[in-house]
């Protein structure tokens, strides 16, 4: 076998020791750099429907198909490698690398076969790698293969199979087939050449005092170089694929977190909207109800009892100022975004005629609330049972608002001649606020367009939301002996509520009161 032909047949990776320098084993660094420039481009690649069906954490994740920009870059890369391969071929021909070179037009055709298929390397990587392997073989046999750019072309093709193949089993089969074929070809050439004395005669087959003979050393260099070459292409390809999958997983989790943040933001806005609506309803409904009742009373007695009419007008003035002050406190809370205690802030209007400083409503204001209801025309008794204990501002505000809404409903729905009772029962773990009346009662609760399915209007919906916020339980509905009951049980410690089940609301039923508690309180009498 001629020396030039034999040297080129050893996979084109290592040429003759004296006439052609072997390819630098660091050549895999070029395709690795290509991986670093090509792989990140997939981060912005929109996944196909098939890829979206699998998450990036799945073992059978499919890498998204290349974008038009990536395909365009591959076309440019193929053209550049074709020019480099053809120029290198001309230089090797001029240097006399082959003893009997093939025609130039055939060399150009071979260079095109080694480089131009790389334009589709990310689209059909397995086919491109097999085509380049076959063209490489043909060039070695026809004395066309130059050992520089042709090896770079083949390295990129094998690397792309590992980095971009969407069928991982086929990627494994393709690379195993190529590597095994190349290594068999290499070993076969080395074995045949070892029995041909005319091949590389300057390399002795005898070990002249060394560990191995010069020819065996030459063969080992070829074997190690090829193992590094194919192993590098395999390793860098798989690393690029794992990197792309990790990047896709990170992007997917980032998108999920962004969507969760958006949902949380929307929920926070909705909850805040409901809270504002609940606060406005509690303030406006209560005071407007009082103003309406007092205005009607003043109109009826204005001619015959001016003093009573004046008292009603004074109550109207007081209620209006209180409503304005509470709205002022609410708007101040919204403007400054204070804490839960500030959210409970309303105004103390007992001694002022203008804007007041916000203070927290709570259990201490329930007696005044019962007196205000009595002044509005509904005799209301107030009683505290048990020893009061410390309760948070939120629990105090919740108790006050529930009692306020319940007494407002009494004035609106109980009818003429009705009376009401407001009781506060303290225990070690909870406090119970109960409002009952002796009015007509309602078999069903009539609500507005936004009334909840459980029945009741916006006021009852607000009571449910407040009780749920502190982990309590709400009972409301008509009593079998007449009248209506609203009872809220509020835990004094939020941890106790968290250990219990979800907040419950007992819907309207013939009698939701507890006879033992109500009857025992009734037997003790009601202080008006």
Give the model's confidence band at 153: pLDDT under 50 very low, under 70 low, under 90 confident, else very high. Answer: very high
Contact 526/465 with Cβ under 8 angstroms?
no
User: pLDDT at position 210, please?
Assistant: 67
Give the rounded distance of the alpha carbon of 316 from its chain centre: 53
73 Cβ partners below 8 Å, 6+ apart? 38, 41
Each residue of 412-422: pLDDT tens digit? 887 778 899 99
Give the model's confidence band at 449: pLDDT under 50 very low, under 70 low, under 90 confident, else very high. Answer: very low
Each residue of 126-152: b (16+ CB within 10 Å) or e?
bebbbbbbebbbebbebbbbbbbbbbb
Give the model's confidence band at 59: pLDDT under 50 very low, under 70 low, under 90 confident, else very high. Answer: low
**Which segment, 219-223, 355-359, 500-504, 514-518, is predicted with the most confidence on average?**
219-223
**Is pLDDT of 72 > 90?**
yes
Q: Is the dihedral of CA 461, 463, 466, 470 positive or negative?
A: negative
Q: What is the average per-residue pLDDT within 55-84?
A: 86
Greater model confidence, 349 or 68 = 68
Q: What is the average per-residue pLDDT within 439-448?
A: 48
Q: Model-level pTM?
A: 0.50
Structure tokens at 460: 């009852």
**Is pLDDT of 387 > 50?**
yes
Q: Is 456 in a helix, a strand, or coil?
A: coil
Greater model confidence, 393 or 70 = 70
What CA dihedral angle connects 166, 169, 170 and 172, to 10 degrees?
Answer: 110
**Angle in degrees, 0-180, between the axes of helices 214-301 and 393-413, rounded to the nearest 10:** 40
Give the rounded distance of the alpha carbon of 406 from its chain centre: 42
Q: Is 351 in a helix, a strand, or coil?
A: coil
**Is pLDDT of 21 > 60?**
no
User: pLDDT at position 46, please?
Assistant: 41
Each residue of 85-141: pLDDT tens digit? 999 999 988 888 877 778 889 999 999 999 999 999 999 999 999 999 999 989 888
User: pLDDT at position 494, please?
Assistant: 60
Among residues of the chain, what percentage have pLDDT more than 70? 70
How high is the mean pLDDT of the chain? 74
**Is pLDDT of 205 > 50?**
yes
Domains of the chain: 363-439+461-491 (3.30.565.10)
Give the per-residue SS3 of 193-230: HHCCCCCCCCCCCCCCCCCCCHHHHHHHHHHHHHHHHH
Least reliable range by pLDDT among 70-79, 203-212, 346-355: 346-355
Greater model confidence, 357 or 268 = 268
Structure tokens at 273: 């909207």
Distance CA 439, CA 404 (A): 17
User: pLDDT at position 258, please?
Assistant: 93
């Amino acid at each position: 076998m001629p020396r030039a032909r034999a040297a080129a047949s050893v996979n084109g990776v290592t040429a003759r020791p004296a006439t052609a320098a072997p390819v630098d084993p660091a050549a895999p660094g070029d395709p690795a750099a290509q991986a670093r420039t090509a792989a990140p481009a997939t981060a912005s690649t929109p996944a196909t429907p098939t890829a979206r069906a699998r998450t990036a954490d799945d073992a059978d994740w499919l890498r998204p198909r290349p974008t038009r920009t990536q395909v365009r870059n591959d076309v440019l890369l193929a053209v550049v490698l074709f020019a480099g391969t053809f120029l290198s071929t001309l230089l090797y021909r001029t240097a006399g690398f082959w003893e009997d070179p093939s025609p130039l037009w055939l060399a150009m055709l071979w260079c095109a076969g080694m480089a131009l298929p790389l334009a589709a390397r990310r689209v059909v990587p397995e086919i491109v790698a097999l085509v380049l392997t076959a063209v490489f073989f043909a060039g070695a046999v026809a004395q066309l293969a130059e050992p520089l750019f042709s090896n770079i072309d083949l390295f990129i093709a094998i690397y792309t199979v590992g980095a971009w193949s969407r069928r991982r089993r086929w990627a494994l089969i393709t690379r195993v087939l190529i590597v095994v074929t190349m290594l068999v070809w290499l070993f076969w050439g080395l074995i045949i050449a070892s029995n041909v004395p005319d091949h590389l005669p300057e390399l002795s087959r005898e070990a002249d005092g060394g560990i191995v003979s010069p020819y065996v050393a030459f063969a080992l260099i070829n074997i190690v170089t090829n193992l590094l070459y194919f192993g590098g292409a395999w390793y860098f390809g798989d690393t690029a694929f794992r990197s792309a999958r990790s990047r896709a997983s990170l992007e997917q989790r980032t998108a999920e977190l962004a969507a969760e943040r958006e949902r949380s933001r929307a929920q926070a806005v909705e909850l805040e909207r409901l809270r504002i609506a609940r606060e406005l309803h509690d303030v406006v409904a209560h005071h407007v109800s009082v103003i309406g009742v007092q205005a009607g009373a003043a109109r009826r007695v204005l001619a015959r009892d001016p003093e009573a009419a004046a008292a009603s007008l004074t109550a109207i003035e007081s209620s209006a100022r209180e409503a304005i002050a509470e709205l002022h406190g609410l708007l101040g809370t919204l403007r400054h975004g204070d804490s839960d205690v500030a959210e409970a802030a309303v105004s103390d209007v007992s001694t002022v005629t203008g804007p007041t400083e916000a203070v927290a409503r709570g259990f201490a204001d329930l007696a005044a609330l019962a007196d205000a209801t009595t002044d509005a025309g509904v005799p209301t008794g107030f009683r505290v049972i048990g020893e009061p204990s410390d309760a948070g501002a939120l629990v105090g505000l919740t108790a006050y608002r529930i009692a306020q809404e319940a007494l407002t409903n009494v004035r609106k729905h109980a009818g003429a001649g009705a009376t009401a009772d407001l009781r506060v029962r303290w225990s070690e773990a909870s406090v119970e606020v109960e409002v009952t009346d002796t009015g007509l009662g309602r078999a069903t609760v009539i609500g507005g367009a936004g009334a909840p399915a459980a029945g009741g209007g916006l006021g009852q919906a607000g009571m449910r939301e407040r009780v749920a916020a502190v982990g309590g339980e709400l009972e409301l509905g008509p009593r079998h002996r007449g009248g209506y009951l609203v009872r809220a049980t509020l835990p004094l410690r939020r941890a106790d509520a968290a250990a219990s089940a979800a907040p419950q609301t007992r819907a309207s039923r013939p009698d939701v009161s507890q006879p033992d508690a109500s009857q025992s309180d009734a037997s003790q009498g009601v202080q008006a």
